[in-house]
Structure 1
Amino acid sequence: MKRVAFRVSYPPTAAHPIHRRLADTDEVSRMELLVWGPTAEVTTLSWYDAEPATVRELLTAVETAVASSTVAGDGGTYAFLHQSEYELDADVLDLVARSGVVFLPPVVFLDDGDAVFEAVGEQAELSRLYADLGDLLDTRIERVSEFRKPSSPARLTDRQQAALAAAEALGYYDVPRTGSVSDVAAELDCARSTAGELLRKAEAAVVREQLHRGGER
């Protein structure tokens, strides 16, 4: 199976109301649609690179909104939005619903009118999706790779996890560095050599996982 990253450009007439609003404000430039469902009535979870008050104002563009809530997090704002209907272009929504591929989160909507997403499927189905999308929107393929199942998270022992947490809290990973291995050892009440070994093994596991994930994209 293949994993393909698509970029499409929405004209204002086909864009979702929130996507249109992104182009009209300097306070929000990015929305990441994290969780959604292919139903007429659906609750979505999205993340915005803006403060909660700005996001709440942005959500007023959605006329079909039944309820919404926002939570600050990860340098921006998460928003739950329940709509009585998607308000996406009907032709695009129908194409997505009948496609023979799986769409991976997030779908990223940008303030220049573009949306970026990834789909997984057999080559013939992905080619058909590309052609069908091209009939409706300006569509580009940004990346093609083999699909592989996600790797298991790095397996850290409780002590390794504690060492990483202490190192981060004490400034060991700050730039410039403000904490030391000795500080970590004092926090964990262990020898400096033990703290150093815990950090090296934990860091090695995290780096291997990250490199493996990078090879999947």
Structure 2
Amino acid sequence: MRRVTFEVSYPAALVHPLHRRLAEEEGVSRMELLMWGPTTNVTTLSWFDADPATVRKVLTAVGSLSSASLVADDGGTYAFVHQTGFEFDDALLDLLAAASVVFLPPVTFFADGTATFDAVGETAALSEFYRRLGDLLKTRIRRVHDFRRGPPAGNLTARQAAALEAAVGVGYYDVPRTGTVADVADELDCASSTAGELLRKAESAVVSAFVADGSPAADG
């Protein structure tokens, strides 16, 4: 099993209204789609790097919006959104529905018009999905690695988990250390102070969970 991080850019005709507004609105540059529901009655949980007032402005772009609840936390705003449809182009939704891969949260949308997401599956299925996705969107592969299941690493938020993954990728936990907090911030497209805070909270959660578990480790 492989895990692939994709980066896509949408042609004008396929840009989601919310993503278009994200690029136009001042004070926000990033949205992370953390959870999403069935297409017949969509409920999503997202995080924005903005205050609630700005997020409300961005959400007005969603024509199918029926209600939204906003919570300021984790350096930005969480949005619980109820809507009657995803508002993505039908060709893209059909491709996602037919793909023989699984998509992992978050799906991250950036103000520069790009988006990133991870998919897990067998090599042949991932290659076929990449080929078909490239017929619709400008697509590139940012990272490929083996997929490994494992127990939950503490009570991590999606942002904290992403920070840990980025830190491992840039060598922040190598011995000797080859990456910096600034490198992690570059991967997350956030300020170094934000990356540092995310790492500290993630490390605290992981260590606390390990100590609470009490499982003995092998000598080494």
Normalising by structure 1, report the TM-score.
Answer: 0.70
Letter in 2 for 1:206: V
Per the alignment, residue 69 of structure 1 pairs with: 69
For structure 1, the 5+ residue unaligned runs are 155-201, 210-217
1:88-107 aligned within 5 A: 88-107=88-107
Alignment pair present for 1:131 and 2:124: no
Alignment pair present for 1:206 and 2:211: no
Shift of 1:87: 0.4
Per the alignment, residue 59 of structure 2 pairs with: 59
Which whole-Å CA distance do the structure 1 matches of 2:153 and 2:7 have between them?
29
% identical equivalent positions: 59
Alignment pair present for 1:4 and 2:4: yes
Note if contact 1:71-1:77 (Cα within 8 Å) is conserved in structure 2.
Answer: yes
Per the alignment, residue 111 of structure 2 pairs with: 111
Note if contact 1:35-1:46 (Cα within 8 Å) is conserved in structure 2.
Answer: yes
Q: Which runs of 4+ in 1 moved over 3 A?
A: none
Which whole-Å CA distance do the structure 1 matches of 2:153 and 2:46 have between them?
24
Note if contact 1:38-1:97 (Cα within 8 Å) is conserved in structure 2.
Answer: no
- Provide the secondary structure at the position in 1 that maps to 2:21: helix
Note if contact 2:36-2:45 (Cα within 8 Å) is conserved in structure 1.
Answer: yes
Which whole-Å CA distance do the structure 2 matches of 1:112 and 1:152 have between them?
33
Number of residue pairs matched by the alignment: 162
Shift of 1:90: 1.1
Note if contact 2:8-2:139 (Cα within 8 Å) is conserved in structure 1.
Answer: yes
Q: Residues 67-112 of structure 1: CA distance to partner in whole angstroms, max 9, x if unpaired?
A: 1111101000000111111101111111001111100000000011
For structure 2, the 5+ residue unaligned runs are 155-202, 211-220
Per the alignment, residue 34 of structure 1 pairs with: 34
Q: Residues 124-172 of structure 1: CA distance to partner in whole angstroms, max 9, x if unpaired?
A: 1100110000000000001110000134436xxxxxxxxxxxxxxxxxx
Output the aligned Cα RMSD. 2.2
Letter in 1 for 2:26: D
Letter in 1 for 2:207: V
Per the alignment, residue 19 of structure 2 pairs with: 19
Larger Rg: 1
Alignment pair present for 1:144 and 2:144: yes
Note if contact 2:25-2:58 (Cα within 8 Å) is conserved in structure 1.
Answer: no
Which whole-Å CA distance do the structure 2 matches of 1:91 and 1:153 have between them?
37
Shift of 1:23: 1.1
Which whole-Å CA distance do the structure 1 matches of 2:85 and 2:107 have between them?
18
Which whole-Å CA distance do the structure 1 matches of 2:55 and 2:27 have between them?
9
Note if contact 1:12-1:20 (Cα within 8 Å) is conserved in structure 2.
Answer: no
Letter in 1 for 2:149: K
Which whole-Å CA distance do the structure 2 matches of 1:32 and 1:4 have between them?
18
CA separation of 1:120 and 1:22: change in aligned 2, threshold 3 A: same
Which whole-Å CA distance do the structure 1 matches of 2:152 and 2:68 have between them?
34
Which whole-Å CA distance do the structure 1 matches of 2:150 and 2:38 have between them?
24
- Provide the secondary structure at the position in 1 that maps to 2:12: coil
